Structures are given as structure tokens and as C-alpha cells.
């Protein structure tokens, strides 16, 4: 089975620097780059099924890059938790893109990864290597429903310990069942990159993200969230990329009202909804993968 290579890039931060990991699929020499950026507590291996499908559809003549955003997966944790902010994540991605230097750049972002993509794609003076050609926003937009943020805040930063991989999968499913139907094998595949062995020789596992991610998140208020919406709408209205907006029909984070507004302003996104899914589609189901392939690889 096709597997990615693990690469690293060093990025500056307020207290020095950190390493950001990224998973690379396909042909490293290809000028067509698809950058897939994950959600708040996830990591780049979430896109394995989609990356394999992109490589298979193009005969390997594509480069799919799936970063582990700092504080997650194989990337370093920040010494200063207040650095866990969208503008800093966008700066890391721009540094990565400068190194990759794509001829054609497409961006797929799930939740947080979509917000990062919205910021990058909405930057009117972006250098050539960061000009987004096609943009997929997965269950996210300029308005994030406050009740969804409160729901996420209930579990964010609480890092449990698991006796087995299956116990971890069951626990994660309890908070992520809104992702929609998955077979037990599919969910276990999505879980394994999310966990790591404890360094105590016990054989137990914990999650692969920095619990300090919760600090800036929990400092957010309804008022500050509303202020952020205005800036995100401004960025969205400046996007010139062809844009596909994917929404879980039962999403509590991206409202149908916001999704409809996104089809009417800015890049006038094409909206596709998946029934029986909340926040957020995982691109494991064949129908979800097909929608993305048809959009990203259209002539």
C-alpha cells in the first residue's frame, strides 16, 4: 500500500523556533501541490485515504502535502501556548510553501485547517507560490457557531491515558461520532496516528497533541469571536480561488445560513452537503472522496 514520507521544516516563533512535520505523498518533483490541513486536535494522517486516491487518479503525478500543525502529531510543542493562533499557523504554512514552491497550489482544509486556508487564500498580495488555485473548505466558514466552540472546549486539553489502541478508539469515537458513519476498522485507522505510547514502559497510550492548545482557546469569548468573524469575512471576500464548501448536514459548527451566505459572496463557493454527517466529513467514505477528486482534478 502507498505510504507517505515524513519530512520536517524549521519555523520561527516568539521564543526561537520549532519543527513542523509534514507527510508527503506522490511525486516530490510535481508542480501540482495539494496542501491538506487538519482540524484543531487532529494531524496530517487524517488525509491518508484522500491522498492515496489523488495519487492513484493522477498516476502519481501530483504532490500531496499533509502537515502536522505545530503542537500536534509529529511536530514540536510550543514553549509559549499563546502562539497557538491562526495567524501563526498561516505563517508556518507560508514558510512551507516557500520551500515547496508549487506551480499550482490547491488547498483543502478541515475546520481549523480551512480557517488557515481562508486566511492564506484571502491575502491579496500573496507571493506566487502561495496563490491558491482551488480551495476546499471542509465544514468551516467565517462564522463559527458559539455552541460548537463551547462543545469543543469541554474536551480540549483533557489528555487521557488508554490501556489499548481500541480503548483509545472507543474514547475518541465518543466525542467524534459527529464525523459520520465509519466501520470499526476505518475508525481504528484514523485513531492510530492520534495516539502515542507513554514513555513509562507501561504499554499504555495517550493523545498526540499539546494540552496547552486549550489555553488560547479557552480565553476566547463570544465578543472576541464576533470580532474575528468580521476579519474572516473580509478575508473570504478577497478570495479569488475556485472554492468548494463541504458541509456535514448535521454540523453544529457551520450553520446552513452561513454556508448559504458563502455561496453568495466572495468566491461564491459551490456547496455540497453530506447527509448523516455533522462536524466534520473525514474523506474516508467514497462519495466524499469522489467529490473532492472531481473538484481538484477538473480540467
- For 143, the domain range is 5-147+221-296
Q: What is the mean pLDDT of residues 264-285?
A: 98
Q: Looking at residue 77, what is its pLDDT?
A: 98
Flag whether 38 is in a domain. yes
Q: Looking at residue 186, what is its pLDDT?
A: 97
Flag whether 47 is in a domain. yes
Q: What is the mean pLDDT of residues 118-139?
A: 96
Flag whether 40 is in a domain. yes
Q: How far apart are CA 117 and CA 112, in angstroms?
A: 9
Taking only the tens place, the pLDDT of each residue in 82-107 is 999 999 999 999 999 999 999 999 99
Flag whether 246 is in a domain. yes
Flag whether 247 is in a domain. yes
Inform me whether the pLDDT recorded for 225 exceeds 90.
Answer: no
Task: Quickly state the pLDDT bin for 239 (edges 50, 70, 90).
Answer: very high
Beta carbons within 10 angstroms of residue 294's beta carbon: 11
Whether the predicted model's global pTM rises above the 0.95 cut: yes
Q: Looking at residue 221, what is its pLDDT?
A: 84
Taking only the tens place, the pLDDT of each residue in 161-184 is 999 999 999 999 999 999 999 999
**Strand (E) or helix (H) holding 256:** helix 256-262
Flag whether 95 is in a domain. yes
- Look at 222 and 18; give whichever has higher pLDDT: 18
Give the domain CATH number at 228: 3.40.50.1820
Inform me whether the pLDDT recorded for 222 exceeds 90.
Answer: no
Total number of domains constituting the chain: 1
Flag whether 204 is in a domain. no
Flag whether 197 is in a domain. no
Q: Looking at residue 299, what is its pLDDT?
A: 78
Inform me whether the pLDDT recorded for 219 exceeds 90.
Answer: no
Q: Looking at residue 227, what is its pLDDT?
A: 86
The whole-chain average pLDDT of the chain stands at: 96
Q: How far apart are CA 77 and CA 170, in angstroms?
A: 26
Beta strands in 27-103 (DSSP E): 32-37, 63-68
Amino acid at each position: 500500500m502507498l505510504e507517505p514520507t515524513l519530512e520536517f521544516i524549521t519555523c520561527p516563533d516568539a521564543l526561537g523556533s520549532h519543527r513542523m512535520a509534514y507527510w508527503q505523498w506522490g511525486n516530490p518533483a510535481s508542480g501540482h501541490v495539494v496542501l491538506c490541513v487538519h482540524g484543531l486536535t487532529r494531524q496530517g494522517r487524517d488525509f491518508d485515504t484522500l491522498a492515496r486516491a489523488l495519487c492513484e487518479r493522477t498516476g502519481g503525478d501530483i504532490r500531496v502535502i499533509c502537515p502536522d500543525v505545530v503542537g500536534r502529531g509529529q511536530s514540536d510543542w510550543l514553549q509559549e501556548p499563546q502562539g497557538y493562533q491562526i495567524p501563526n499557523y498561516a505563517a508556518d504554512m507560508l514558510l512551507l510553501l516557500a520551500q515547496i514552491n508549487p506551480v499550482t497550489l490547491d488547498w483543502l482544509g478541515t475546520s481549523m485547517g480551512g480557517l488557515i486556508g481562508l486566511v492564506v487564500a484571502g491575502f491579496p498580495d500573496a507571493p506566487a507560490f502561495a496563490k491558491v488555485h482551488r480551495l476546499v473548505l471542509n465544514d468551516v466558514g467565517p462564522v463559527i457557531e458559539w455552541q460548537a466552540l463551547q462543545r469543543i472546549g469541554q474536551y480540549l486539553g483533557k489528555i487521557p491515558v488508554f490501556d489499548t489502541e481500541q480503548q483509545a478508539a472507543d474514547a475518541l469515537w465518543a466525542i467524534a461520532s459527529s464525523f459520520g458513519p465509519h466501520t470499526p476498522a476505518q475508525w481504528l485507522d484514523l485513531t492510530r496516528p492520534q495516539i502515542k505510547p507513554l514513555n513509562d514502559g507501561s504499554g499504555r497510550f495517550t493523545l498526540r497533541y499539546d494540552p496547552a492548545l486549550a489555553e488560547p482557546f479557552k480565553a476566547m469569548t463570544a465578543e472576541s469571536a464576533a470580532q474575528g468573524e468580521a476579519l474572516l469575512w473580509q478575508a473570504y471576500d478577497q478570495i479569488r480561488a475556485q472554492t468548494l464548501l463541504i458541509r456535514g448536514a448535521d454540523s453544529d459548527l457551520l450553520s446552513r445560513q452561513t454556508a448559504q451566505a458563502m455561496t453568495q459572496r466572495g468566491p461564491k463557493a459551490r456547496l455540497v452537503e453530506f447527509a448523516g454527517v455533522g462536524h466534520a466529513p473525514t474523506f474516508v467514505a467514497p462519495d466524499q472522496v469522489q467529490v473532492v477528486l472531481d473538484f481538484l482534478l477538473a480540467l
